[in-house]
């Protein structure tokens, strides 16, 4: 079994889900008392949230690259970045280390391709929805059209992520707002919706809507299990 390197803490709420999903996946594959071999570097999310708000992606990249080097030095065989938004600096992290990075957008897009999804909606932080590092990668590498909510809806989605979900708050009214946005994306032609923030799966579940939901936390964790055992 390979050792998984994790950059976590962004937020720790979703990192907890990663840890549980990965270990459950290893146990399901190997049985008995088996669990995952993991080295994790968990950061103080407040620091990185402030860097994002000031668009200081250079400092963000340097700090996460340094953390990734620590994980590599500890003995990890590959790395997962346990957040969608911070994949904006994935290229700088990849340049700083010699172990491979399992990119969350690739894992998600490969699942979409396998399911024959050619047009998909994307929910996430404002950075993930509005910047091109994520939706552009899916479109250019996998030929999938990516739809995002209108600017007003993006503000609603982003506020709920940072003011509620990252703090562990689950609000039924916020779930209704998310479902309204999902319905609009479906009306716009999306055949599925990516839950492109690792906290969204804490709020919205597949049974909440008729359109298929692709939870990036679950998909990324499953990919890590496959890579560890492969």
Residues 15, 60, 83, 85: which is the catalytic one? 83
Q: How many alpha carbons lie under 13 Å from residue 143 in its C-beta half-sphere?
A: 4
Burial of residue 211 (number of CB atoms within 10 Å: 0-12, 13-18, 19+)? middle
d(CA 48, CA 29): 35
Sheet holding 145-147, edge to edge: 145-147, 119-123, 192-195, 213-215
197 catalytic? Reply is: yes
d(CA 112, CA 95): 27
Beta bridge partners of 6: 40, 80
166 catalytic? Reply is: no
Residues 108, 128, 166, 197: which is the catalytic one? 197
Residues identified as active-site? 83, 197
């Amino acid at each position: 079994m390979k050792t998984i390197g994790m950059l976590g803490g962004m937020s720790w709420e979703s990192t907890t889900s990663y840890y549980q999903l990965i270990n459950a996946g290893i146990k399901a594959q190997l049985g008995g008392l088996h669990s995952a071999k993991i080295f994790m570097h968990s950061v103080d999310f407040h620091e990185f949230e402030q860097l994002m708000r000031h668009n200081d992606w250079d400092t963000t990249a340097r700090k996460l690259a340094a953390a990734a080097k620590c994980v590599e030095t500890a003995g990890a065989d590959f790395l997962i970045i346990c957040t969608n938004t911070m994949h904006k600096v994935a290229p700088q992290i990849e340049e700083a280390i010699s172990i491979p990075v399992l990119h969350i957008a690739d894992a998600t897009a490969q699942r979409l391709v396998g399911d024959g999804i050619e047009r998909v909606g994307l929910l996430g932080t404002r950075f993930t929805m509005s910047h091109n590092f994520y939706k552009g990668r899916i479109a250019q590498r996998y030929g999938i059209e990516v739809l995002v909510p209108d600017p007003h809806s993006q503000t609603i989605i982003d506020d709920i992520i940072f003011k509620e979900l990252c703090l562990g708050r689950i609000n039924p009214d916020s779930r209704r707002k998310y479902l309204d946005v999902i319905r609009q994306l479906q009306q716009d032609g999306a055949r599925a919706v990516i839950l492109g923030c690792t906290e969204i799966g804490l709020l919205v579940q597949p049974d909440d809507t008729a359109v298929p939901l692709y939870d990036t936390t679950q998909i990324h964790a499953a990919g890590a299990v496959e890579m560890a055992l492969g």
